[in-house]
Amino acid sequence: MRKTVRKLFLGKSSNGKQAEFDPIEKRIQNIRSIWNNDHQDDNGLEKIFRLLLSSSQLLFPGIYIKYFSRKKGIEYQDLATDFYILLKVTFPVLILVNQWQQYQWVVVLMTYLFLETIFYIPTLIFASDLFSRPRSYRRSMLLLFFNYLEIVFAYAVFYSCGDYLNKPFQNWFDAVYFSIITSSSIGYGDFHPVATIGKFLVSTQALLFLFFIILFLNFFSTKVKSKGYFDHENNESL
């Protein structure tokens, strides 16, 4: 049983082999690389934007979780990252179900974790000059989906923090429902923003959705190479 669970969560053992790079040191080197224009001849707003994105990761816990977990092996680093992302997805749901949004520090903590996700994804695309490709683009796509769920649930919490809409939510799932239809730009009209904060939240969520679909998902999906049973079958028939 223990071997089965270990195989399920850890996959092929690396025998304690650590990740090739220290994530903190690699991030610092990446900032230096952008500053010195080692890989891209950028300047002005582009360079400032890339420096801010790359530096922002040092302000959040994700990179430090990778740093400490890498000492046990590559698979443990991946597993720790997976659990951390799932925790970030679950946290807003717990806030909604238990009505913890009345506690300001809880909302502040959720917003802090939410900002990590908002900054991390564009960092991978625009400001990762020295970082090698991920071991699995399929895993990256899956984690990106969980990042999207985190954003949807986080916005649901934001919507439930005040009287920003035309009528109050009847239960916690109403907030999730409104967040989902807002992110997908459906808008049935049963809920709509009336306060300025509500309109701001709806506008930013719609923009984030466009970024995910047009930019991020397109970027990662083009990296995924499909190879499976039918490819193997075709190769044998040639």
What digits encode the pLDDT tens for the residues 122-142?
Answer: 887 777 665 556 666 677 778
Per-residue HEC secondary structure of 115-140 comes to: HHHHHHHHHHHHCCCCCCCCCCHHHH
Question: For residue 68, which of 112, 27, 123, 19 has the smallest C-alpha distance?
Answer: 19
Going by pLDDT thresholds of 50, 70 and 90, the confidence category of residue 180 is very high
- Pairwise CA distance, residues 211 & 141, whole Å: 15
pLDDT of residue 237: 47
More confident call, 94 vs 228: 94
Provide DSSP, 165-184. Answer: BSS--SSHHHHHHHHHHHHT
What digits encode the pLDDT tens for the residues 50-73?
Answer: 899 989 999 999 999 988 888 777
- Predicted TM-score (pTM) of this structure: 0.82
Question: For residue 135, which of 174, 82, 78 has the smallest C-alpha distance?
Answer: 78
